[in-house]
Amino acid sequence: MTTSTYSPQLQNAAIESFVKPKIEGLIDDLITSLPEINTLTSEERRGILARYTAVLEGNFIYWMTATLISVRSEGARPHLLENLDEEVREAHPVMLRKFAVAAHAFPTDTDALAVDADLTKVRQFLGRLSAVQSLATMAFFEGYIQRFMGYLANLAAARGSVEMEYTDVHGVCDIAHTQGLFDALAAETEVNPLDPKADIFEGVELLRALIHTIVYGQADKLAA
Question: Which residues of the shown chain bind Fe ion in the complex (CB under 5 A)?
Answer: 92
CA neighbor of 54 nearest in space, from 220, 214, 164: 214
CA–CA gap between residue 63 and residue 119 (Å, rounded): 11
CA–CA gap between residue 59 and residue 221 (Å, rounded): 23
In the complex, minimum distance from the CB of residue 198 to Fe ion, in angstroms, rounded to a whole number: 28
Q: Between 40 and 175, whose beta carbon lies closer to Fe ion?
A: 175
CA–CA gap between residue 198 and residue 84 (Å, rounded): 27
Q: Between 92 and 208, whose beta carbon lies closer to Fe ion?
A: 92
CA–CA gap between residue 74 and residue 208 (Å, rounded): 29
3 state DSSP class of 90: coil
In the complex, minimum distance from the CB of residue 71 to Fe ion, in angstroms, rounded to a whole number: 20
Q: Between 87 and 205, whose beta carbon lies closer to Fe ion?
A: 87
Q: Between 194 and 214, whose beta carbon lies closer to Fe ion?
A: 214
In the complex, minimum distance from the CB of residue 130 to Fe ion, in angstroms, rounded to a whole number: 23
Check residue 164 and report its DSSP letter.
Answer: -
In the complex, minimum distance from the CB of residue 64 to Fe ion, in angstroms, rounded to a whole number: 9
CA neighbor of 185 nearest in space, from 150, 121, 128, 141: 141
Q: Between 79 and 92, whose beta carbon lies closer to Fe ion?
A: 92
In the complex, minimum distance from the CB of residue 157 to Fe ion, in angstroms, rounded to a whole number: 20
Q: Between 84 and 215, whose beta carbon lies closer to Fe ion?
A: 84
CA neighbor of 28 nearest in space, from 136, 135, 146: 146
Neighbouring CB atoms inside 10 A of 144's CB total 21
Tell me which residue has its CB nearest to Fe ion.
Answer: 92
Give me the sign of the Cα torsion angle 41, 46, 51, 52: positive
CA–CA gap between residue 67 and residue 187 (Å, rounded): 14
In the complex, minimum distance from the CB of residue 87 to Fe ion, in angstroms, rounded to a whole number: 5
